[in-house]
Structure 1
Amino acid sequence: MSRPPTMNDVAQEAGVALKTVSRYVNGEKNINPELAKRIRDAIALLGYRRNLAAASLRPGRSSRMIGLVISDLANPYYSTIARAIETTAAAAGYLLITASSEESAENHDRLIDRFIGQQVDGLIVVPPARPGRSWADVTPPVPPLVVIDRPADATWSDTILADNAGGAHAATAALTAAGAGRIAFVGDTLALYTMSERLRGYRLALEDAGIAFDEDLVVTGAHSADEAASIVSRLLREQRPDAIFAANNRASIGSVLAFRDAGTALPLIGFDDFESARLGTPAVSVATPRIEEMGRLAAERLLARIDGDTSPSTTTVLPVELILRGSERETPTS
């Protein structure tokens, strides 16, 4: 056969009606077992594959696909979220398609349009640092939407966040409790909701400890580990802090790299856990969100909406866990 086999070919090979084949490939169960076996054998013989893209174009049909737009798939934080979403979606029979916006509003908007054009059944989105168009301006129909990690202006969507301010407060308070007074804040751009919330928690913890806020100890722009290492190296030379609060996993790694290069180290707590955090002596303490739970809840909420849940939109804020491994009070070694 020079062309891909069709359901008509399967029906002819199995000796059944086209409607019966259609019911079979769409997952209906109330089919005579003997007919089902003949259809299954015909599908195997002919190599028939259902055209999901074409099926999704028909009224009432589903693509069985979910679109996920995250910031940076290379970041373990987001890859962990993506994996949790994928596992939950796959268990329900959905394929997850993941793309990175790279914090670009233009890329984000283009990906949203592409996913909607592909007729995905639902969207899970991490908004970029600086949002582009309003969700109100997205051409309808827009599929069910869940926003994660950062809020968006889609008031009708479900939103799942981490308690960034609370986690940063707990981390900074642990450093002050261990005797630190000049605590540097090292993080990414404050255009990020998560980063601005972590700075807010840091400032509140200093205030609670009676420590004056010092702008010279706050340095942002650490999007990569190398950028963070450069920042921390400069802080060690010029500002002489007595502890570091690294406000994301890249800043934590950069801090450890800077300590190694300087041949010295400071008490350190990072935000977001990372695989190599346990390799030092002592291991790096962290305030870590429940990122797997965030991904799982996002997928479950979206699947419920796809299945017809029309209850009011929700915002869920997940707690951040402080894991003290010793680096908050002792000098790490490489």
Structure 2
Amino acid sequence: MQRKPTMNDVAHRAGVALKTVSRYVNGDPTIGADYADRIREAIAELGYRRNMAAARIRPGQSAKMIGLIISDLSNPYFATLARAIELGAAAAGYMLTIASSEEDGARHDLLVDRLLEQQVDAIIDVPPRAPGRAWRDIPPPLPPLVFVDRPSDWAAADTVLADNAGGARSATRALLHAGAGTVAFVGDSVEIFTMGERLTGYRQALVEADRPVDDDLVRDTVHTVDDAMRVVLDLLAGGRAQAVFAANNRAALGALRAFRLAETFLPMIGFDEFEAAALINPPISVVSQDIQAMGRAAADLAVARLNGSDIPCTTTVLPTSLILRGSERLLPAF
């Protein structure tokens, strides 16, 4: 593994005293412009990062810390994923520090920099919808990386995904098989990898059934439950959708609110299990992905790299399962 550059290395490259570099990285404004420029250039060339944990770590030891960047901790899906990763990391003696990118590339870049400054031993990352800086543009050395839920541009990392396209295809096929003539897609932006894959699976099912793909029935602006409610109310008013594929848990919950307000119910299957799905009347059919298995796999891969594994990087695609509870069929109004 490549040695991480030190403050001494920066001082040598810049041709200044170690104390001057220390003053620079701690924000001393009295350093001359010439010295500051030389130190800044040396830091960029070497890829030096301030070790904010150094005072707490004895020489030769690590922070025993793994960083996790997810999309939105308030989303039950990502909360479940984070918990599974935390348990896997703890079993190997590592703590987990968690942050949310909110799907913003600039915020994601800031979080990456902060984790690198903290000298975390590994990073597990859910890449954001709006990409920021490419991983290849970050000066080495980098700690072991694992991408989870979505892939990244960085090939030198392990990746754990779910079969999003296959799950969406099976859900749409089930709705068509149950008698729906048209199926609406309700989900978040298809710029998000998982949503794009689910839209692909939805379209595949329609094509295989010789049904037209009606772009007016594809609604990909749903980020919140309220967004989904408004979209489904609009679909109900239009009268063209005979069933709904809700492409994430928030879309499913918003659709249920819309059905309640409109006092009607369209056949529906959601993607991702949620706690109340089996308790609602009618119970909601879902595409279930094993979030715990995904989190455990990501943690295990990170720990394996930390333990010296040098096998080629892998992409693991976990299967989904279709759980039919009855909501895929035409049912009486509320």
TM-score bin, normalised by smaller chain:
0.7 to 0.9
Instruction: Give secondary structure in 1 for the equivalent of 2:277.
Output: helix
Who is 1:175 aligned against?
A: 175
The aligned counterpart of 1:42 is none
CA distance in 1, matches of 2:53, 2:130: 35
Matched, 1:212 2:212: yes
- Equivalent residues of 2:162, 2:289 under 8 A apart: yes
Indicate the residue corresponding to 1:275 in structure 2.
275
Give the stretch that moved more between structures: 227-236 or 277-286: 277-286
Unaligned runs of 5+ in 1: 1-50
2:143 alignment partner in structure 1: 143
1:330, 1:273 → 2: CA distance?
Answer: 21
Q: Which amino acid aligns with 1:236?
A: L
The aligned residue for residue 17 of structure 2 is none
The aligned residue for residue 198 of structure 1 is: 198
- The CA distance in 2 between the partners of 1:281 and 1:188, in whole Å, is 25
Cα offset, 1:113, TM superposition = 0.6
Q: Secondary structure at the match of 2:141?
A: coil
2: CA distance, partners of 1:52 / 1:93: 17
1:129–1:191 CA contact under 8 A, matched in 2: yes
User: Cα deviation per residue 1:241-292 (whole Å; 9 max; x = unaligned)?
Assistant: 1100000110000000000000001000001111121221221100021111
Task: Provide the residue aligned with 1:233 in structure 2.
Answer: 233
Alpha-carbon distance in 2 for matches of 1:333, 1:201: 29
CA drift at 1:331:
2.4
The CA deviation at 1:332 is: 7.2
User: Between the two proteins, what is the percent identity of the paired residues?
Assistant: 56
After superposition, the C-alpha distances for 1:219-253 in whole angstroms (9 at most, x for unaligned) are 11100000000000001001431100000110000
The answer for the alignment partner of 2:264 in structure 1 is 264
Q: Distance in 2 between matches of 1:109 and 1:251?
A: 28
Counterpart code for 2:169: H
Higher radius of gyration, 1 or 2: 1
| 1:328–1:309 Cα change, 3 Å | same
Cα 1:187–1:56 shift into 2, 3 Å = same
Measured in 2, the distance between the counterparts of 1:128 and 1:331 equals: 38
The aligned residue for residue 44 of structure 2 is none
The answer to whether the 8 Å contact 1:56/1:62 transfers is yes
SS of residue in 1 equivalent to 2:223? coil
TM-score (ref. length: structure 2): 0.82
Aligned length: 283
Q: Which residue of 2 aligns with 1:132?
A: 132
Measured in 1, the distance between the counterparts of 2:68 and 2:233 equals 36
Give yes or no for contact 1:282–1:333 (8 Å, CA) kept in 2.
no
Counterparts of 1:152 and 1:127, CA distance in 2: 6
Does the Cα contact within 8 Å between 1:280 and 1:333 map onto a contact in 2?
no
> What residue identity is the alignment partner of 2:193?
Y
Aligned partner of residue 185 in structure 2, secondary structure = strand
Provide TM-score, normalisation by structure 1: 0.82
Amino acid at match of 2:106: E
Note the C-alpha offset of 1:82: 0.4
State the alpha-carbon separation in 1 of the partners of residues 104 and 239 from structure 2: 33
Q: Which amino acid aligns with 1:118?
A: Q
Aligned to 2:111: 111
Q: Following TM superposition, by how much is the alpha carbon of 1:56 offset from its aligned partner in structure 2, in angstroms? A: 3.7
SS in structure 2 opposite 1:235? helix
CA contact (8 A) 2:70 2:101 kept: yes
Distance 1:332 1:82, change over 3 A: farther
Partner residue in 1 for 2:55: 54
Structure 1 residues 259, 85: closer, same or farther in 2, change over 3 A? same
Structure 1 runs (4+) greater than 2 angstroms displaced: 51-58, 330-334
Amino acid at match of 2:215: E
User: Does the 8 A contact of 2:53 with 2:118 survive in 1?
Assistant: no
Question: Does the 8 Å contact 1:55/1:61 carry over to 2?
Answer: no
Structure 2 Cα separation of the partners of residues 57 and 194 of structure 1: 42
Q: Which residue of 1 aligns with 2:18?
A: none
Q: Which amino acid aligns with 1:197?
A: E
Q: Deviations over 1:277-325 (max 9, x none)?
A: 1221221100021111000000000000011111110000000111111
**Superposition pairs for residues 2-21 of structure 1, below 5 Å?**
none
Structure 2 gap segments, 5+ residues each: 1-51
Cα pair 1:150 1:161 within 8 Å, conserved: yes
1:134-160 deviation line (CA, Å, top 9, x unaligned)? 101112221000001111011000000
* Cα distance in 1 for residues equivalent to 2:111 and 2:273: 29
Q: What letter corresponds to residue 181 of structure 1 in structure 2?
A: G
1:278 aligns to what SS in structure 2?
A: coil
> Is the contact between residue 53 and residue 119 of structure 2 (CA under 8 Å) also seen in structure 1?
no
Structure 2 residue matching 1:179: 3-state secondary structure: coil
Name the CA distance, whole Å, in 2 between partners of 1:55 and 1:261.
56
Letter in 1 for 2:99: A
Cα distance 1:101–1:57, how it changes in 2: closer, same or farther (>3 A)?
Answer: farther
Moved more, 190-199 or 278-287: 278-287
Shift of 1:130: 1.8
Preserved contact between residue 148 and residue 161 of structure 1 (Cα < 8 Å): yes
